[in-house]
Amino acid sequence: MMRTVSLETHSVRQVNQWLHEQNAKLEEENWQITEPQGRHALACGLDQALKLTIDGHAGYYCAGMNKQAEVVIEGSAGVGVAENMMSGTVRVRGNASQCAGATAHGGLLVIEGDAGARCGIAMKGVDIVVGGNVGPMSGFMAQAGRLVVCGNADEALGDSLYEARLYVRGTVESLGADCEEKNMTPEDQTELAELLHAAGYRNTFRTEEFRVYGSARRLYNFQIDQAGPDR
């Protein structure tokens, strides 16, 4: 059974309330939101292993702070899709605006199109796989987790990076402060293969086509040279 609700006839508040009522006890597993019309804060705060399809474009913070749920956006997503996600899966069939997966702690975010600036900013354990390109400052202050970019990365990739690992198949316009290319280890290859498989790209891209980037760890401790007036 699929429960279908239209945002033409119901408010975001009403629909989110129905979804949140599943948090306590899962009674309806499959959901579909139609006519989303780019509304903000759709399906945020889910905490149940339900399956939700959003049949169109979503606005800001779609599936924000998601736990457990499997959300598919059959269009593009606005700013901060799956921000601070804890677990579950969010898939965007189209493109995602800036700050996709910001500060997310866990789960898997797949963006089949391109992602805007600051994709994976301050990510804290989430896995993000982008089928296309990512905008500037992606992976800024990324603390943990993995960001896989199957296209190109714009400037300042991984600026002020902590322990997240960034895989890029195409070109990197420039690296941000303290981000450097690392040697791809067999463990990295295995990890990347698993991520591509999870995202549905196992037969689309080969791991050998990617490079891996990580933190040079030169900014981890406060030093005089880092605080100089030229910075």
Partner 1 sequence: MTEHSSPLPTSQRESATFDRHTIAEIHRAADTGIYDIRGFGAKRAVPNFDDLLCLGASMSRYPLEGYRERCATDVWLGTRNAKKPLHIKIPVTIAGMSFGALSAQAKESLGRGASQMGTLTTTGDGGMTDEERGQTDLLVYQLLPSRYGMNPDHLRAADALEIVLGQGAKPGGGGMLMGQKISDRVAQMRTLPQGIDQRSPCRHPDWTGPDDLAIKIEELREITDWQKPIFVKIGATRTYYDVKLAVKAGADAIVLDGMQGGTAATQEVFIEHIGIPLLAAIPQAVQALQEMGVHRQVQLVVSGGIRNGADVAKALALGADCTSIGVGALIALGCNHPHWDEDYRRLGSAAGFFDDYQDGTDPAGITTQDPQLTSRLDPVRGGRRLANYLRVLTMEAQTIARACGKSHVQNLEPEDLVALSVEAAAMARVPLAGTEWVPGTKAHE
Beta carbon of residue 33, minimum distance to partner 1 (angstroms, whole number): 14
Which CB atom, from 40 or from 51, has the smaller least distance to partner 1? 40
Which CB atom, from 46 or from 108, has the smaller least distance to partner 1? 46
Strand order in the sheet with 51-55: 2-6, 30-34, 51-55, 70-73, 89-92, 108-111, 124-130, 144-149, 165-168, 211-215, 179-182
Beta carbon of residue 209, minimum distance to partner 1 (angstroms, whole number): 29
Which CB atom, from 81 or from 196, has the smaller least distance to partner 1? 81
Gap between the Cα atoms of 117 and 125, Å rounded: 19
The residues that touch partner 1, with contacts defined as CB under 8 A, are 12-13, 16-17, 20, 40-41, 44-45, 47, 59-61, 64-65, 67, 79-80, 83-84, 86, 99, 102-103, 105, 118, 121-122, 124-125, 140-141, 143-144, 162-163, 220-222, 224, 227
Paired tokens of 127: 């896995």
Beta carbon of residue 201, minimum distance to partner 1 (angstroms, whole number): 26
Unique residue bearing structure tokens 């891996």: 212
Which CB atom, from 108 or from 141, has the smaller least distance to partner 1? 141
The long-range contacts involving 116-122, CB below 8 angstroms and separated by at least 24 positions, are: 117/154, 119/147, 120/145, 120/147, 120/164
